[in-house]
Amino acid sequence: MPIGPIDSSLTPRYAGRDGFARLPRLDQVDRADIVVAGFPFDAGVSYRSGARFGPNAIREASRLLRPYNPALDVSPFELAQVADAGDVGVNPFNIGEAIDTIEQAALELTQGGTRLVSFGGDHTIALPLLRAAAKQHGPVALLHFDAHLDTWDTYFGAEYTHGTPFRRAFEEGIIDTEALSHVGTRGPLYGKKDLEDDRRFGFGIVTSADVYHQGVIETVAKLRDRIGDRPLYISIDIDVLDPAHAPGTGTPEAGGITSRELLEILRGFRGLNLIGADVVEVAPAYDHAEITGVAASHIAYDLVSLLADKHAADTAAEDASA
C-alpha cells in the first residue's frame, strides 16, 4: 500500500512534512513508482534570474493540494507510490558540469522504471532530462509548452542556455522528429529564420492564439494524433501562461493561455505513453501572492496524476497477462 501525503484533517497544511503535496521523502519509502525532484539551476537564463528558487516555491504552494483529483477521477497517491527526492545540488557556475550532474541524477532516479517529474530551475535542465529519457526509451516525442521556441542556436556564443535546449536535443538525435510540438508560443522573434529553423527540426506549432480560436478539444485532438503511442516527454515553461496567471517568471510575454486552458489540455493526454515531465522557469521573486507557484503546483499535480493513472493501467495489464 503506497504511503500517501500527511492528512490535512489531522495536521494543518502549514505544518508537518514539506515535500511536494506533503508526500514522503524518497528515503522514507522502500521504492517509488513516481518521483518528483528539484533542479535549482538558473545559470542559463538570458533575462531575469531567480528560477533556482522555483522548486521550493512549487513545494510550498503544493501544501494546498488534496489527494483526490476529480478532473481525472483518480487518487494518484493511492494508485502509485509517489515520493519527493528533494533538490539535486548542481554547480551554479559551470553549465557543462551542471548539465552532466542533472543527467546522471535523472538516470539514477529513474532506475527500474520509476517516472520523474522535475521542477526547475531554468529551461536548460530540459536537455539533460531528455538525454536521460532517451537513454532508456530511445528518441522521445516532445510536447513543449512555452511562450518561446527555445530552438535558437547560441546566446553570446554559448550553446547551452535556456533558449537552446531543443535545438541541441535535435542535433543529438534524442527527440523523435515525427512527434514534436510547441504549444502556447507567441510574441516577437528575431526574424523569420527562427520559424524556418524550427520547421526544419520537425516542430509543429500551436500558438496561444490557436488555442484561443480552436479551443482545448481541437488542440488536444491534433496533439494526440501527432504523438500517437510514442514515449512522450512533456516540458512546461511556466511562461506559457499569460503573465496574469504566472507573473513570477524570467521572460514573460503578453497574450498567453490561461491556467485553466493548460490544465484542461494536459488532462486530455490521459492514456498516452507519458514517460516524464518537467515544470520550469518559476521565479518566485517576481511572483505575487504565490499566483505562479500555485499554478505550477497544480500543473505538477496533474502530471503526477497522469503518470499514476498510466502506472495503474500498466500494472493491471501485466496482472491480466500473468
Using DSSP bridges, classify how beta strands 34-39 and 115-120 pair: parallel, antiparallel or unpaired.
Answer: parallel
Strand locations in 132-226 (E): 140-145, 175-185, 203-207
At 117 the pLDDT is: 98
> So what's the pLDDT on residue 322?
74
Which segments of 54-127 are extended strands (E)? 82-87, 115-120
Q: What is the model's pLDDT at position 95?
A: 97
Torsion angle, CA of 184/185/186/188, rounded to 10 degrees?
170
What the block records as the C-alpha cell of 291 is 499566483
Please give the Cα distance from 236 to 276 (Å, whole number): 11
Can you list the pairs that 177-181 forms with residues at least 24 positions away whose Cβ atoms lie under 8 Å?
A: 177/139, 177/201, 177/202, 178/202, 178/230, 179/141, 179/142, 179/226, 179/227, 179/228, 179/230, 179/232, 180/141, 180/142, 180/144, 180/204, 181/142, 181/143, 181/144, 181/205, 181/206, 181/223, 181/226, 181/227
In degrees, rounded to 5, the angle at the alpha carbon of residue 268 between the alpha carbons of residues 126 and 227 is 55
Give the span between the Cα atoms of 315 and 309, in whole angstroms: 10
Residue 321 pLDDT: 84
Q: What is the pLDDT of residue 16?
A: 74
> DSSP assignment, residue 118?
E
The CA distance from 91 to 126, in Å, is: 16
Biggest CA–CA distance in the chain, Å, is 57
* Structure confidence at residue 248 (pLDDT): 98
Residue labelled with grid coordinates 521550493: 56
User: What is the reported pLDDT for 13?
Assistant: 78
Q: What residue ranges of the chain have pLDDT lower than 70?
A: none
Tell me what pLDDT residue 9 has. 74
Dig out the grid coordinates for 130 from the structure: 531528455
